């Protein structure tokens, strides 16, 4: 089960992601900013300098720190008259330079318009069903649907009820240009081929350049019980755990994860996401810059 985020209004400093914009509401800024301070106790690692080595790469990054937070710990924000309750799980305050991860619940009804100015957004429907209306065009949402939204676009979400509609979205500035493909902007998980990442870990691509997104890649991952060797990636990654339980190992710390956990993995952060249960762990993730989820900058020899 996916934990339910609080729907109460909690004021917080200006957010970098686009917000639902009723009349006379200020426009969002086209940049990523820290939305609220993150207490030191919520940081994943000590942030000390870390050196990773392999035959082909030697990188030292000062201040590298992963971040783990459960959606139960998040404060949600809701604009008067809106059906959407949005919480920011990952942003600059969590050490993410490019990406933000938002968790949003939509009550029954139609949300206020959400406009993207200078930002792009990848949405994943985690539970519930509804319709996304993008500049007048309707797109059906069901669990496992990925959607790409380019800068300058506006969307609303209609939830017929009675259940909440839960989405997990990643937001980033536009750097390589973005134009939605002429065909469908949505991608259905069931339509995507199953690929092997490493060992018994599998994934399916969702939002990619095929639907116009050149900066980020969204994928659905399946992690079998067990632990993979420690490794790192060249990309910046945000993860939402859909099902299962396990442990994120990295920088000498072991953090429990479960359905509803949000994770940030900075570039070159050596880690291992262990599935400690006896059933597959399922995740949805987005990384920047775009590429191959299976690529690794470093992997321990085991």
- Convert the pLDDT of each residue in 237-268 to its tens digit: 999 999 999 999 988 889 999 999 999 999 99
8 A C-beta contact, residue 50 and residue 270: yes
Q: Is the peptide bond before 80 cis (omega within 30 degrees of 0)?
A: no
- Residues of the chain short of pLDDT 50, as ranges, are 1-17, 19-62, 301-302
The pLDDT value recorded for residue 297 is 52
Q: Is the peptide bond before 256 cis (omega within 30 degrees of 0)?
A: no
Cα 171 to its chain centre, rounded Å, is: 8
| Tokens standing for residue 222 | 């399946």
pLDDT tens digits for range 179-227 = 655 667 999 999 999 998 777 789 999 999 999 999 999 999 999 999 9
The pLDDT value recorded for residue 10 is 35
| Alpha carbons 254 and 138: distance in angstroms, whole number | 43
Cα dist from 25 to 19, 34, 64, 87, 151, whole Å: 9, 20, 36, 19, 19
The residues spanned by each domain of the chain are 189-299
The pLDDT value recorded for residue 39 is 34
189-299 maps to which CATH number?
Answer: 2.60.120.10
The pLDDT value recorded for residue 97 is 87
């Amino acid at each position: 089960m996916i934990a339910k985020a609080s729907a109460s209004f909690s004021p917080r400093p200006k957010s970098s992601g686009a917000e639902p914009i009723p009349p006379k509401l200020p426009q969002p800024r086209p940049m990523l900013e820290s939305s609220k301070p993150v207490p030191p106790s919520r940081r994943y690692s000590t942030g000390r300098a870390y050196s990773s080595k392999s035959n082909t790469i030697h990188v030292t990054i000062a201040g590298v720190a992963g971040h783990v937070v459960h959606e139960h710990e998040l404060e949600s924000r809701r604009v008067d008259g809106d059906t959407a309750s949005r919480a920011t799980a990952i942003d600059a305050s969590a050490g993410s330079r490019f990406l933000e991860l938002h968790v949003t619940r939509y009550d029954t009804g139609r949300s206020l318009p959400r406009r993207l100015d200078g930002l792009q957004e990848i949405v994943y429907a985690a539970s519930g069903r509804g319709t996304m209306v993008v500049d007048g065009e309707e797109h059906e949402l069901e669990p496992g649907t990925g959607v790409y939204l380019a800068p300058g676009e506006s969307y609303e979400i209609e939830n017929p009820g009675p259940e909440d509609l839960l989405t997990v979205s990643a937001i980033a500035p536009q750097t390589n240009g973005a134009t939605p493909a002429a065909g469908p902007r949505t991608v259905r998980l069931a339509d995507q081929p199953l690929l092997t990442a490493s060992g018994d870990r599998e994934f399916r691509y969702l939002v990619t350049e095929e639907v116009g997104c050149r900066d980020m890649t969204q994928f659905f991952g399946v992690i079998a019980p067990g632990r993979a060797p420690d490794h790192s990636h060249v990309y910046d990654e945000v993860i939402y755990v859909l099902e299962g339980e396990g442990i994120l190992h990295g920088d000498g710390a072991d953090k429990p994860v479960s359905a509803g956990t949000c994770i940030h993995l900075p570039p070159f952060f050596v880690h291992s996401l262990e599935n400690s249960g006896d059933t597959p762990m399922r995740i949805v993730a987005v990384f920047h810059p775009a590429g191959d989820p299976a690529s690794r900058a470093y992997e321990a020899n085991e």
